[in-house]
């Protein structure tokens, strides 16, 4: 068995973060591997279904957050660290109690997990996929697969820095993960990215983007434009917009960080109290068509505190609608 700890949000080491522990279990009979992801949560109800920031793994409780479908119904898996070491990732053997519970039932201890932390600072290249590599005897529910699939796709990319030092080989006292009825991704802080092939030329698409007064017509969340600087969309130029639905609207602004006219645009979009987001748009000319890509992620403020496993699907859904609106406006001939 191999385990890997990570910090989901990527906050500084001195601040609490959502901690993740990914485990890969390789059966002795030579069967395919099983990947199980845990995240720092509460232990009781409803805390076991809520992500909880922790400063360190020592004293933390971790669960699978969403249940597996066992032979007798839904089952959660949980881990509790043992001992009071101030640095739970120091080299040497670390012991975690292994538990299972029904969603509303009490936790039952079924074994322990022993992890040998490596002394080196290097991270392991292994990527985990709990949707493709499910434990034998347990399956994920359809609704959990739909909810988690976008974040697990991100998790296949290069990994973020680990909580402290990477974990080396690990061995369980009991393979409860393989039989939960009897007994978290994370990827680097990469941007949430969506693409769409437009039935419009890149020139038509750029005309819409270059007209700041049309911004609220295609950007989901922007409700009105209050002012656009004459230099838009040159680097440093701003447009002043409102976010939200009347009468609950917030006035803020978006600034151009970088631009390559007709090909790319990088924005810093503000929408307090949620914070700031970095948005990168690229246009790939394909004759009468254009491939448009939007990459976005929170960079400052409360929005960044939301775990990527939760915020990435929300950003992607919003930007898919943004692309649909932008294509319609480009086809319709909007813009300067």
Query: In the chain, where are the structural domains located?
Result: 2-178, 192-331
Q: What DSSP state is assigned to residue 213? A: G
| Strands of the sheet with 222-228, listed across from one edge | 192-198, 289-300, 276-286, 264-270, 248-260, 238-245, 222-228
**Residue 158 clears pLDDT 60, i.e. is over it:** no
Q: What is the pLDDT of residues 278-295, one digit of tens each?
A: 999 999 999 899 999 999
Query: CB within 8 A of 82, min separation 6: which ones?
Result: 95, 96, 97, 112
Quick check: helix, strand or coil at residue 48? helix
pLDDT of residue 2: 81
How much is the average pLDDT of 303-310? Answer: 78
Q: Are 64 and 49 in contact (CB under 8 A)?
A: no
Please tell me what DSSP assigns to residue 123. Answer: P
**Which residue carries 């909810």 as its tokens?**
147
pLDDT in the model for residue 240: 93
pLDDT, residue 86, reads: 42
Residue with tokens 């983007």: 209
More confident residue, 118 or 81: 81
Average pLDDT, the chain: 79
E runs forming strands in 82-137: 92-101, 108-117
What band does 117 get if pLDDT is binned at 50, 70 and 90? low
Q: Which one-letter DSSP state was computed for residue 83? A: S
User: pLDDT digit string (tens) for 62-115?
Assistant: 999 888 888 888 999 999 987 544 444 455 667 889 999 999 999 999 998 888
Which of 5, 49, 334, 291 shows the shortest CA–CA distance to 170?
A: 5
Q: Which one of 55-59, 136-140, 221-225 scores highest in mean pLDDT?
A: 221-225
pLDDT of residue 171: 38
CATH number (3.30.70, 2.40.180, 2.40.160, 3.30.450) of 2-178 reads 2.40.180
Does 6 score more than 60 pLDDT? Answer: yes
pLDDT band for 4, please (50, 70, 90 cuts).
confident
Specify whether the CB–CB gap between 54 and 17 falls below 8 A: yes
Predicted confidence at residue 170, as pLDDT, reads 40
192-331 classified as CATH 1.10.287.610: no
Q: Helices 308-331 and 202-210: crossing angle, nearest 10°?
A: 110
């Amino acid at each position: 068995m191999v385990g890997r700890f990570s910090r989901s949000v990527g906050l500084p080491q001195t601040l609490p973060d959502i901690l993740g522990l990914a485990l890969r279990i390789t059966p002795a009979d030579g069967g395919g591997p099983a990947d199980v992801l845990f995240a720092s949560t509460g232990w009781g109800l409803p805390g076991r279904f809520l992500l909880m920031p922790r400063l360190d793994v020592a004293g933390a409780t971790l669960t699978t957050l969403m249940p597996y479908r066992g032979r007798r119904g839904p089952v959660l898996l949980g881990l509790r660290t043992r001992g009071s070491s101030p640095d739970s990732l120091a080299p040497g053997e670390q012991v975690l109690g292994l538990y299972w519970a029904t969603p509303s039932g009490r936790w039952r201890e079924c074994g322990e997990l022993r992890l040998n932390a490596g002394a080196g600072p290097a991270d392991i290249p292994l990527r985990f996929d709990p949707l493709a590599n499910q434990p034998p005897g347990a399956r994920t529910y359809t609704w959990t697969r739909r909810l988690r699939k976008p974040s697990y796709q991100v998790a296949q990319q290069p990994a973020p820095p680990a909580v402290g030092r990477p974990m080396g080989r690990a061995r369980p006292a009991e393979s409860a993960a393989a039989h939960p009825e009897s007994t978290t991704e994370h990827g680097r802080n990469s941007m949430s990215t969506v693409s769409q092939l437009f039935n419009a030329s890149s020139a038509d698409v750029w005309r819409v983007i270059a007209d700041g007064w049309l911004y609220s017509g295609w950007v989901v969340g922007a409700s009105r434009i209050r002012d656009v600087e004459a230099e838009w969309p040159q680097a440093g130029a701003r447009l002043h917009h409102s976010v939200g639905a009347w009468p609950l609207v917030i006035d803020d602004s978006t600034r151009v960080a970088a631009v390559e006219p007709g090909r790319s645009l990088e924005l810093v979009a503000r929408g307090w109290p949620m914070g700031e987001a970095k948005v990168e748009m690229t246009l790939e000319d394909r004759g009468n068509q254009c491939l448009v890509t939007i990459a976005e992620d929170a960079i400052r403020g409360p929005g960044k505190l939301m775990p990527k496993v939760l915020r990435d699907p929300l950003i992607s859904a919003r930007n898919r609608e943004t692309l649909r609106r932008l294509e319609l406006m480009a086809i319709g001939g909007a813009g300067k």
